[in-house]
Amino acid sequence: MGIEIRGLNKSYGDFAALRDITLSLPSGGLTALLGPSGSGKTTLLRILGGQESPDTGTVQIDGQDVTVLPAQKRNIGFVFQHYAAFRHMTVAKNVAFGLEIRRVPKAQIRQRVEELLSLVQLSQHGHKMPSQLSGGQRQRMALARALAIDPSVLLLDEPFGALDAKVRKELRDWLRRLHDDVHVTSVFVTHDQEEALEVADTIVVVNEGVVEQVGTPEEIYDRPASDFVFRFIGETTQLGEMLLRPHDVRIVPEASGTGAGAGNCSAGVGGSDLSSSDLGGVFSGEITRWNRVGFETRLEVTLDPTAQGPVQQTPVHVQLTRTEVRGLGLQPGDRVIVAPHPDAELRPAQRAGAPEPVLAAV
């Protein structure tokens, strides 16, 4: 069942915010609507929630057509970036609110609130006022309140957007685990690729009001359906004429390669002979930057001028694990050979005059 969206269009004046959106979001799934600012994510979420109505198209939730049903009749839980808590009520009262207006018996409310506070790890904080909670705790209270009514669907609009990076990361892990426990069909909006890749079962990539791709995080990352998704979903680097992921660049010290002439050669990269013809280029250069980031090492390789074409101005970014760096015996300043990994996803680099790629906002 889940959520079925068919032929949805929404314009503001002559601006088309959503164009012909058709989507099936699985029941019990955690779906991320991911896209750059202004792509239409929030508009789509608001249509699902009933705060906005589409110009054309339909929305079904668990088999029921809700397209014209008012928000309060859709049995949906909402969590927003800035949670509007009732400041004069305790945390427990805030969580109980939805049940009280539904006139659920008091004993039942008390029991449900206890369960929910425990679920969001706030059992010790029920008596506090919202102002006495941290930002992360407040968002957990918002989740408890949204879940109190046993919603058929939970909608979250940038729920962790206002929190600092560390708390945000903790809440992501926590949301993932919570969802594994409660399995309510959930849709959350984010412009953060990492957040979507880490938390969601299904990612819907939206761009300029159109769905670019729907898939699991692995499908979206490893098999992007369009140049836009490839550029938007993760880091890319240029190697000759091609774009690829920094961890898909293979690198060896020049001394261990063969025929290290630039541009068109074969080289023993990563233990096998590689020919530039099937790989989109084998290049020589020098490691000009060396950065350790956690367990990874990020290198920049400035390429030598090639015989065939113009010099590549931007250094190649290479991402390796520390173990790989040790195994290869690489040092800052080394002369190296670089080539794409044989399984690398390659895309033609932007030609002069083409629009700039959208940068990943992390």
Ligand X SMILES: Nc1ncnc2c1ncn2[C@@H]1O[C@H](COP(=O)(O)OP(=O)(O)OP(=O)(O)O)[C@@H](O)[C@H]1O
Binding site for ligand X (CB under 6 A): 12, 17, 35, 37-43, 191
Residue with Cβ nearer ligand X (161 or 268): 161
Residue with Cβ nearer ligand X (38 or 327): 38
Q: For residue 318, which phi and psi values (nearest 5 degrees)?
A: -125, 135
CB of 89 to ligand X, least distance (A): 29
Q: CB atoms < 10 A from the CB of 92, how many? A: 22
Residue with Cβ nearer ligand X (125 or 191): 191
**Helix/strand/coil (H/E/C) assignment for every residue in 311-323:** CCCCCEEEEEEHH
Alpha helices in the chain (DSSP H): 41-49, 91-101, 106-119, 135-148, 165-182, 193-199, 217-222, 227-233, 276-279, 322-328
Residue with Cβ nearer ligand X (38 or 305): 38
CB of 342 to ligand X, least distance (A): 37
Residue with Cβ nearer ligand X (41 or 74): 41
CA terminus-to-terminus distance, the chain:
33
Q: Which amino acid is at 209?
A: G
Starting from the edge strand earliest in sequence, which strands make up the sheet with 3-12, in order? 15-25, 3-12, 56-61, 64-65
CB of 10 to ligand X, least distance (A): 8
Residue with Cβ nearer ligand X (37 or 313): 37
- The token pair at 26 is 């699985």
Residue with Cβ nearer ligand X (12 or 295): 12
Residue with Cβ nearer ligand X (19 or 128): 19
CB of 35 to ligand X, least distance (A): 5
Q: At what angle do helices 135-148 and 91-101 cross, to 10 degrees?
A: 20
CB of 40 to ligand X, least distance (A): 4
Distance of CA 104 to the CA centre of its chain: 38
**Max CA separation in the chain (angstroms):** 81
CB of 258 to ligand X, least distance (A): 50
CB of 42 to ligand X, least distance (A): 3
Alpha helices in 6-90 (DSSP H): 41-49
Buried/exposed 344-357: b ≥16 CB within 10 Å, e otherwise? bbbbebeeeeeeeb
CB of 355 to ligand X, least distance (A): 17
